[in-house]
Structure formats: C-alpha cells, structure tokens
Amino acid sequence: MEFEMSFLDLFLQASLVVKAVMILLLLMSLFSWALIFQRRSVLSKAQKQAVKFEDKFWSGVDLAKLYKEISAQGNKLQGIEHLFHSGFREFARLRGTHSNDASAIIIGSQRAMRVAHSREMDRLEKNLSVLATVGSVSPYIGLFGTVWGIMNAFIALGGVQQATLQMVAPGIAEALVATAIGLFAAIPAVMAYNRLTYKVELLDNSYVNFAEEFTSILQRQTVASPSQQPINEGLANE
C-alpha cells in the first residue's frame, strides 16, 4: 500500500510533460494487452480448426461431399477450410471447361489456393505489427520522460545556493518512473509478439503443406479416367 501511495505521489508531483508520457505509456500497455488476448484467441481458434479439418480430410471422406458441407457455411470460411474450398471450387470449374488440359486445371487450382492463403495470412497477422511498435518505441518514450524530468530537476537547482541530494532526489525519482513504465509496456509486448509470430509461422507452414498435398491429390484425379473422379457434375457449373 505504501508503494502504491508513493507511486501516486510521484505521479502527481511530476511535471505536465512527464505525466503525459506516463499516461501515454499506460494506455499503450493496456492496448497491447487487449491486443495480445485478442490475437491469442484468433490464433488458437485457427490452430484447432486446422487440426479438426485435416483429421476429417484425411479420414477418407468424399471430397465433393466435404466441399458441399463447407460451402453451406457461406462467407464464414476461414483458415484451411478456405484454402480447400477455393482450390476445389476452381478445380471443378476448370475441369468443366478444360477437361483435356490437366496443367491448366492444376495451375488454376494452385492460384486460387495461393490467393486464399494470402488472405488468411493477412487475417492472422493483423495488428501484430502494433505489438512490435509498442515493444520498440515504449522504452524510448519512457526515456524521454526521464530526461525531461531530470532536466527540470537540475534546472530547479539553479536558483538554490546550496544543493543537496534530498532536494534533487524526488525530481529524479519522478523521472525514473517514466522509464519503468516504458519497460513495463515494452517487455510483455515484445514477448507476446515473438510468441504470436511463431504461432503464425506454424499455421503458415500447415497451410502451405496442406495446399501441396491437396494439389497432389487433384493431380492424381486429373490424370485418372472420368469414371474415377469423385466430383459431382453439378460442381463444375458453380
């Protein structure tokens, strides 16, 4: 309790510039924590969804049936389901128009999955740069407040004939609080950014691997005879 009171006293006694720096850093810290929890929820959901879909995909389910089930979700498709839906839809369309050109079919499907993959990565990486910015800028903002506070403390000594440590200590302490708050905002942001970026990289690898494996399946279906294709004729007209 005494620490809280002393911290509050230091804040109240600080100059207007140092107070503004402290408030700014506290707001940045609160925003970064809110962003950390939000991004963590999004990435955890994407990871669980990817595992669930791959388990179903590799269980031997009919691809046309799986495509229809996913299409029923409308515009809510995300993650690896989005890649599968985009690739399979383009595969079915091109197979109806370029049934004798296997390379055009595969290239078109790959292009559709690359576009879906790019959009998914944009969604997963959204606002992560904000954490990097908070982590890199906060210490310097805190240092600015510290320098400003110490400068004012020494300027105040100019009108005193005999300076003592007791006279300058409160001003220096007020200033150093700004650096402490800057570190308080920066350290969690940097740690969270590194951790969340690692999770994004894992999902990225998972999406890329799935796209390559799915492309191989589509290639085998393309070179097979029409009677062996597990694709409903109606899909080519979508």
Q: Note the pLDDT of residue 176.
A: 83
- Rounded CA separation 234/154 (Å): 81
| Mean per-residue pLDDT, 168-173 | 70
Cα three-residue angle 214-62-66, rounded to 5 degrees: 75
| Mean per-residue pLDDT, 93-118 | 85
DSSP readout, the chain? -HHHHHHHHHHHHS-HHHHHHHHHHHHHHHHHHHHHHHHHHHHHHHHHHHHHHHHHHTTT--HHHHHHHHHTTGGG--HHHHHHHHHHHHHHHHHHH-TT-HHHHHHHHHHHHHHHHHHHHHHHTTTHHHHHHHHHHHHHHHHHHHHHHHHHHHHHGGG-SS--HHHHHHHHHHHHHHHHHHHHHHHHHHHHHHHHHHHHHHHHHHHHHHHHHHHHHHHHHHHS-GGG----GGGGG-
| Mean per-residue pLDDT, 178-197 | 93
Structure tokens at 35: 């962003």
Encode pLDDT of 117-143 as tens digits: 999 999 999 999 999 999 999 999 998
Q: Note the pLDDT of residue 211.
A: 93
Encode pLDDT of 190-226 as tens digits: 999 999 999 999 999 999 999 999 999 988 887 764 4
Q: Note the pLDDT of residue 170.
A: 67
Please report, for residues 92, 102, 145, 199, the alpha-carbon distance to residue 89 in angstroms, rounded to integers and kept in the order given: 5, 15, 57, 28
The pTM assigned to this predicted structure is: 0.80
Residue type for 62, please?
Answer: D
Encode pLDDT of 35-74 as tens digits: 999 999 999 999 999 999 999 999 888 888 999 988 887 7
Q: Note the pLDDT of residue 99.
A: 60
- Mean residue pLDDT across the chain: 83
Top pLDDT among 17 and 160 is at 17
Over 57-85, what HEC string results? Answer: HCCCCCHHHHHHHHHCCHHHCCHHHHHHH
Portion of the chain with pLDDT greater than 70, in percent = 81
Q: Cβ neighbours of residue 71 under 8 Å, at least 6 residues apart?
A: 85
Residue type for 225, please?
Answer: S
Top pLDDT among 112 and 169 is at 112
Top pLDDT among 103 and 172 is at 103
